[in-house]
Structure 1
Amino acid sequence: MKPKKTLVLGLLIFVLSALVIPAQAQEEREELTTDRPDKSQGPGIVSRGYIQLEAGYHYQKLNASIRTHAYPTALLRIGLLEGVELRLHGAAKDSVIENGSKRHIRGWGPLSVGTKVRLWEESGWRPEAALSAMLTLPLASEVFKPDNPEPQFGVAFSHGISEKMDLTYNLGYGWAEGDPVRSYGVNITRELSDKLTIYLEAFGSKGKGETAEHQADVGLLYLLLPNLQFDVAAGRRLNKAAPHSFITTGLVVRLPR
């Protein structure tokens, strides 16, 4: 069986296994918090003993001639301790370049491993906060493999504006192709119902010696079950240096302790 088919089959088994959890266990489970599909990943931590898979499809139009596909993008989050989670991230990629003729570049993107640690809970004027650290490893198909391990660090905050509205924002610093990159993200999330949530977001990054890239998007999250969430989002560039547009959709599933 081909690696791509094996991975898709594994994801389906993971989802199906979560759906057979007894209803009582679902009722006892706490609120599902996710790090997809928005870029302004918040300070939420997967509780100790839980395993959470966040996977999806990402299409991006860089410019008139380059389009990229990533499927599936997958983030595995494992609650190690209260306030500490282990994170593993990877994706299969397919870039389509159109310059009179089409050329496909397929392969596995690099594997990233790391953690997110809660700094403190929200209290009055003080927002909830968490610190994340990831290391992108040179373990990938040759066309997507970085020359050296590349670390990324981030700090995330979240305020409860009202009972149904939250403000999330983060700052990041890391390396890409050996050069430092700074990033930011900010979004406002609004619960429309117990199952449906909408968010508006702006985010961007700036590499050394490069023009800053700024983008904005809107997304919907729908809670199918207490442990299963569907999402979809679409965004566009805010300046010419940024990728033109993107669409993403996916699922989040969480297994019990």
Structure 2
Amino acid sequence: MKQTLYLGFILLLILSGATTAFAQGEEIETDRPDQTESSSLVPKGTLQLEAGYFFQKATEQGLSIRTHAYPTALVRVGVLDWLELRVLSALRDSVTENGKEREVSGLAPLNLGVKVKLWEEQGWRPEAAFLVRAALPVGSRSFRPDNPEPEIRLMFTNGITEKIDLAYNLTHSWVEGEPQKGYTLSLSGELLDKLTVYGEVFGSKRKGEKAEHQADIGVLYLLLPNLQLDVAAGKGLHASAPDFFVTTGVSYRLPR
């Protein structure tokens, strides 16, 4: 029932904007499905919805843990030419397998943030932006943190050619009170006017724990100038990382 309502809402948005989308002129840029947040902001006065389904399988201390998130939903609002507001959450469930199943489900923590443009690309100097956000102790008890968990992220993009971009992030966050550092590196290329593919590596390390490194590949298809479909899959690069994940979704920018 939840999935049906979600798909119906997306369909309503598509139908309402299909006619004006072609005249809008500005093609949508998204922060999904990869782990690398873009250094671009949504235009001033516009609202963008990025939503999808996420599945991950991980093995921890001999236990197999499957996690579903449906839908993940990121709402981005362009406030100024250099400022964007963001709200992120999801419905989640996790199943632990060890002879018998234990299912936990509920609402993921509410994540609030702002993205700030730092400077435009010039020569070898990359385009840059700054993101600060926090997971708040709001949501289902099984998933929400006891205290706010902030994250600081620097985002950079270099245009290698007109059709190839190199994007990378540096992150510093706090999870359960412990500092965590991370990175992402993504190379994307436009194969056709509406089709883009990318490859990515990313990782993180929390104090006192082993680092987790993963890699993924994905495809983005621009159905309309303000409507994008995507699919991606990835896997862990060593035992301490999740086994694999898949995600697919849709992103839509409301016409101005």
Contact 1:18 1:255 in 2 (8 A): no
Query: Normalising by the residue count of structure 1, what TM-score does the alignment of the two structures yield?
Result: 0.94
Contact 1:129 1:156 in 2 (8 A): yes
Task: Find the aligned partners of 2:105 and 2:233 in 1 and give their Cα distance.
Answer: 23
Task: Find the aligned partners of 1:53 and 1:22 in 2 and give their Cα distance.
Answer: 15
Contact 2:151 2:172 in 1 (8 A): yes
In structure 2, stretches of 5+ residues that fail to align are none
Task: Classify the secondary structure of the residue corresponding to 1:21.
Answer: helix
Task: Find the aligned partners of 2:92 and 2:221 in 1 and give their Cα distance.
Answer: 26
Which amino acid letter does the alignment assign opposite residue 9 of structure 2?
A: I
1:44-123 equivalence runs, <5 A: 44-63=40-59, 65-123=64-122
Residue 138 of structure 1 is matched in structure 2 by 137
Task: Classify the secondary structure of the residue corresponding to 1:20.
Answer: helix
How much does 1:8 deviate?
A: 5.9
Residue 197 of structure 1 is matched in structure 2 by 196
What is the aligned length? 253
Query: Normalising by the residue count of structure 2, what TM-score does the alignment of the two structures yield?
Result: 0.94
Which amino acid letter does the alignment assign opposite residue 215 of structure 1?
A: Q
Task: Find the aligned partners of 2:21 and 2:228 in 1 and give their Cα distance.
Answer: 17
Contact 1:49 1:256 in 2 (8 A): no
Which amino acid letter does the alignment assign opposite residue 68 of structure 1?
A: T
What's the CA shift string for 1:28-86, capped at 9, x where partnerless? 33121000000011201001111100000100011261111111111000011112110
**C-alpha spacing 1:22/1:103, structure 2 compared with 1 (3 Å):** closer
Task: Find the aligned partners of 1:55 and 1:80 in 2 and give their Cα distance.
Answer: 21
Which amino acid letter does the alignment assign opposite residue 156 of structure 1?
A: M
Contact 1:171 1:184 in 2 (8 A): yes
Which runs of at least 4 in structure 1 moved beyond 3 Å after TM superposition?
22-25
Which amino acid letter does the alignment assign opposite residue 232 of structure 2?
A: A
Task: Find the aligned partners of 2:10 and 2:52 in 1 and give their Cα distance.
Answer: 14
**C-alpha spacing 1:35/1:15, structure 2 compared with 1 (3 Å):** farther
**C-alpha spacing 1:86/1:230, structure 2 compared with 1 (3 Å):** same
In structure 1, stretches of 5+ residues that fail to align are none
Which amino acid letter does the alignment assign opposite residue 52 of structure 1?
A: Q
